[in-house]
A and B are shown apart, each in its own frame.
Chain A
Amino acid sequence: RKEVEQDPGPFNVPEGATVAFNCTYSNSASQSFFWYRQDCRKEPKLLMSVYSSGNEDGRFTAQLNRASQYISLLIRDSKLSDSATYLCVVRYNDYKLSFGAGTTVTVRA
């Protein structure tokens, strides 16, 4: 079983729509949680950390449910530039990141 599982999508949405997706993780000792964004043939870049209380960064909202071991990301008012692969990432020690396979989002005009 993979440490981090994600729905691969693709999620194909019109501009202005809201899109949400989540991931599950298997290691209950996981300490830190993140969403990374990866554009085609580019490196992953940190989008946001995810906190237990939930947190927002502009149009992006992340939630963490430790009891059920899942993490979610919601994108409001989607822009064309939001088209990317979103990687769910978990860290359960001081350094090793475990990545999901990614959820592909395509925003169309």
Chain B
Amino acid sequence: GAGVSQTPSNKVTEKGKYVELRCDPISGHTALYWYRQSLGQGPEFLIYFQGTGAADDSGLPNDRFFAVRPEGSVSTLKIQRTERGDSAVYLCASSLTSGINEQFFGPGTRLTVL
């Protein structure tokens, strides 16, 4: 069956630009998560959606980062005025209901800010 998919797989942008990263969760999964993984580090939690609403956005580093999930399925992570420090792999995960269920990760989007 189809797993979590993320597009694009790679994104190169210039400092100050706006980017959108997309996540398609596993069909039927109501919970969706975004994580960020910097080189040599483990993934760090950014935001958790239960359905359409962001249940916990405490991991978003600042107000340049925003995420939406308008129909409770696909989610978009939006980064404004990108900075070089935003360069990382952005991972999306989904689970059947809450996080008590296993979180399945997508392949990630590798963002490079020049």
A95 touches B42 (CB 8 A): no
> Nearest 5 pairs between A and B by C-beta?
A95-B99, A99-B42, A43-B105, A94-B98, A99-B43
Q: Which residues of A contact B44 (CB under 8 A)?
A: 99
Taken together as a complex, chains A and B put the C-alpha atoms of A96 and B55 apart, in Å, by 11
Q: Mark B32-43, 1 if CB is under 8 A from A, else 0.
A: 010100001111
**Count, chain B residues at interface, CB 8 A:** 24
* Chain A 1-24: CB-based contact to B (< 8 A → 1; otherwise 0): 000100010000000000000000
Main secondary structure of the interface of B (DSSP, over half): loop
Tell me which residues from 42 to 67 in chain A have a Cβ below 8 Å from any Cβ of chain B: 42-46
Cβ A95 vs Cβ B108 within 8 A: no
Does A87 have its Cβ within 8 Å of any Cβ on chain B? yes
**Is B106 interfacial (CB 8 A cutoff)?**
yes
A95–B106 contact, CB under 8 A?
no
Please classify how large the interface on chain A is, using the bins under 10, 10 to 19, 20 to 34, 35 or more. 20 to 34
Q: Is B91 close to A, CB under 8 A? A: yes
> Which residues of A are in contact with B by a Cβ distance under 8 Å?
4, 8, 42-46, 87, 89, 91, 93-102
Instruction: Determine the chain A residues whose CB is within 8 A of the CB of B14 once the complex forms.
Output: none
Known: A43-B106, A43-B107, A44-B105. A101 touches B55 (CB 8 A): no
Chain B nearest CB from A43 CB (Å) reads 4
Whether the pair B108, A43 counts as a contact (CB closer than 8 A) is yes
B window 15-51: CB within 8 A of A = 31, 33, 35, 40-45, 48
Please tell me if the beta carbons of B42 and A94 are within 8 angstroms of each other in the complex.
no
- Chain B residues with CB under 8 Å of A46's CB are 102-103
Contact of B105 with A97 in the complex, beta carbons under 8 Å: no
The answer to whether B45 and A42 touch across the interface, beta carbons within 8 angstroms, is no
**Is the Cβ of A95 less than 8 Å from the Cβ of B33?**
yes
Q: Compute how far the CA of A103 lies from the CA of B105 in the bound complex, rounded to whole angstroms.
A: 19
